[in-house]
Structure 1
Amino acid sequence: MIVLVTGVSSSPGYKIAVKLLGRYQVVGTYNEHRVEIPSAELVRVDLTKNPAELIRNYKPDVLVHVAAIGNVDQCEEQPDLCYRVNVVASRELIANAYRVGATIYYLSTDYVFDGERGLYTEDDVPRPVNYYGLTKLLAEEIARAFGGAIIRVAWIYGAGPGRANFGKTVVDKLRRGEEVRAITDQWSAPTLNTIIGEAFAKLIDSKFTGTLHVVGPRMSRYEFAKAIARYFGYNEDLVKPIRLADVNYRARRPRDSSLSNRRAIELLGIPLNDINYALSIFKKELEETT
């Protein structure tokens, strides 16, 4: 069975592809940054050009669509590009995957919610407050229209390739004895990339359909940075509190976009709310790469 994973140079895409190896024949796409994934076939593709050709060439049994512009401020500053990548390219890719009979999994985000109350369930109505969240919601609706599953994640961190992430930055700074400024009044659910990969392997194995929140426990960035310092044995006093208003973001951030993971815990059997479980994997993987 062929599983096509888009965006394998991203943090979640890479871990999903790695976790699927040995189970399925994995084809991974990347655009600018090539990564090495032994036993996977990697292909460089600009999904805004001709995603239909990609689907025709590989005729996947499963599409895991991860590729997107995930920089929230970039989406606010370059809305046309963001729309072309996150919505138009997704529509063409998903529609063509549907035509060849592929099962569709779409990776989405907590930022589809407005953040006014937090711990959103899969049944709550989205209401994004920034352009990135809007494009992800539009792509969700496209995937859903073609019978696809929606897997929402949040505040992804971990070892491996991909954009810089908060968890890795915290570890690097604390290791050097540097201060970490972390926001106290914004909450979400930090989620380890390796756990996302493990979850996708289980979801594809079980032929999951519907919407699912695969996220860690509700925390502020300040609480998360403190947890990292404690687990790794670094000086917690180096973690300094700041407010969301102290950060000059271009795009508005939801105050509390945390997602309820109760359904995912019951379905997957992964201890998603155990931050030390996730940090133990994170620490081990960092040690293996240094």
Structure 2
Amino acid sequence: MARVLVTGGTGLLGWSLVNRLVERGFEVYATYHATRPPVAEGVKWVWVDFDDPHEARPLVESLRPEVVVHAAAYTDVDGCEANKLLALNVNYVSTRELATACRGVCKYFVYISTDYVFDGEKGLYREGDPPNPLNYYGLTKLMGEIAVAANLEYYLVLRTSGLYGCSPGGKRGFALDALGKLSRGQVVEAFVDQFLSPTYAPDLADAITRLLEGRPRGFLHVAGERVSRYEFAVELARVLGVSEDLVKPTSIASAVLRARRPRDSSLDSSLARSMGVGVRPLREALRAFAGECVDYAR
């Protein structure tokens, strides 16, 4: 089987992906930074600091992977506004350096991108819709997309939306916080006027594993169904069997946030589905999330 390098191996997506790839018999190398990974049989861990873009090229030259899945990113949307140089280095410059290092070495490069490259004015974005990011996080991820497309022939830019789940190094995020609060009978506030396509990380990992077989090229959207944050939290309450009244509607229009958010950044994943690649329905994914991540939510 192919040698695969997964960056961001302790993150929400990376942790699920390295385990899926090991199960499928791939030779797996994975990077970590802030969080030391737990023992994972079959995974060879490499410490890398993508804050320093110069670390990308030696990584590729030493491992010489056939496939790279670049999932490492600085995803704190408000943090990117406050720490623009860090966001630029991690999300763009390191991606550019990784992509250029892969020329002549790697046979396939998957770059994990985001719905936040869009401005949210229409929703259900397709792969060919023009990007127009509202915040610096979205801008740096778009720059990463451009760097990958400009430097590589055999690449896939895979955009997803509202990634949630649990992992040793993953941030808590809205979904995990909501799971913890609802499990304890506490109130959860959620926006009624922000729409996205929440995607359970293990489902996306399964999709990527399938995509590595056919290795499609270009741009592809893989994400869940379109819902508001409020609808997502209400559905989670139903799955947990707690009162929906614990979920209180709020408005993003009145929220105090450093970075602007798209009103509707939901993604149209019909192209991926036509290729036989998709994710589970929301309720089914939330059942799995509630069962698998309850210990992380405490």
- Whether TM exceeds 0.5 here: the answer is yes
Note if 1:81 corresponds to 2:81.
Answer: no
Q: Note the alpha carbon deviations across 1:127-176, whole angstroms, 9 max, x for none.
A: 11111101100100111121220101111111323011222111110111
Tell me, in whole angstroms, the C-alpha distance in 2 between the residues paired with 1:125 and 1:70: 21
Partner of 2:37: 35
Tell me, in whole angstroms, the C-alpha distance in 1 between the residues paired with 2:78 and 2:234: 26
Instruction: Pick closer, same or farther for the CA change 1:269–1:93 going to 2, 3 Å.
Output: closer
Instruction: Give TM-score scaled by structure 1 length.
Output: 0.95
Is contact 2:199-2:279 (8 Å) kept? no
Partner of 1:176: 184
Is contact 2:223-2:278 (8 Å) kept? no
Tell me, in whole angstroms, the C-alpha distance in 2 between the residues paired with 1:279 and 1:73: 26
Partner of 1:278: 285
Partner of 1:187: 195
Q: Which moved more, 1:232-241 or 1:160-169?
A: 160-169
Is contact 2:160-2:223 (8 Å) kept? yes
| 1:67 aligns with one of 56, 72, 97 | 72
Is contact 2:56-2:98 (8 Å) kept? yes
Q: Note the alpha carbon deviations across 1:74-129, whole angstroms, 9 max, x for none.
A: 11111111111111111111110123133100000000000001000011111111
Is contact 2:158-2:219 (8 Å) kept? yes
Is contact 2:187-2:246 (8 Å) kept? yes
Partner of 1:9: 10
| 2:218 aligns with one of 210, 215, 235 | 210
Partner of 2:55: 50
Tell me, in whole angstroms, the C-alpha distance in 2 between the residues paired with 1:167 and 1:275: 13
| 2:275 aligns with one of 248, 267, 273 | 267
Residues paired across the two proteins, number: 289
Q: Note the alpha carbon deviations across 1:8-59, whole angstroms, 9 max, x for none.
A: 1210111111111132101000111122222100010112232111101100
- RMSD value, Cα: 1.5
Q: Note the alpha carbon deviations across 1:183-206, whole angstroms, 9 max, x for none.
A: 000101110000110011000012
For 2:191, the aligned partner's letter is I
Tell me, in whole angstroms, the C-alpha distance in 2 between the residues paired with 1:78 and 1:50: 20
Q: Note the alpha carbon deviations across 1:203-256, whole angstroms, 9 max, x for none.
A: 001222121111001011000000000112111100000000232110010111
Is contact 2:222-2:278 (8 Å) kept? no
Tell me, in whole angstroms, the C-alpha distance in 1 between the residues paired with 2:92 and 2:294: 38
Partner of 1:100: 105
Is contact 2:211-2:277 (8 Å) kept? no
Gaps of 5+ in 2: none
For 2:205, the aligned partner's letter is G
Task: Quote the offset at 1:269 in angstroms.
Answer: 4.4
Note if 1:22 corresponds to 2:31.
Answer: no
Instruction: Pick closer, same or farther for the CA change 1:54–1:118 going to 2, 3 Å.
Output: same
Instruction: Pick closer, same or farther for the CA change 1:268–1:285 going to 2, 3 Å.
Output: farther
Gaps of 5+ in 1: none
Tell me, in whole angstroms, the C-alpha distance in 2 between the residues paired with 1:270 and 1:132: 25
Tell me, in whole angstroms, the C-alpha distance in 2 between the residues paired with 1:124 and 1:65: 23
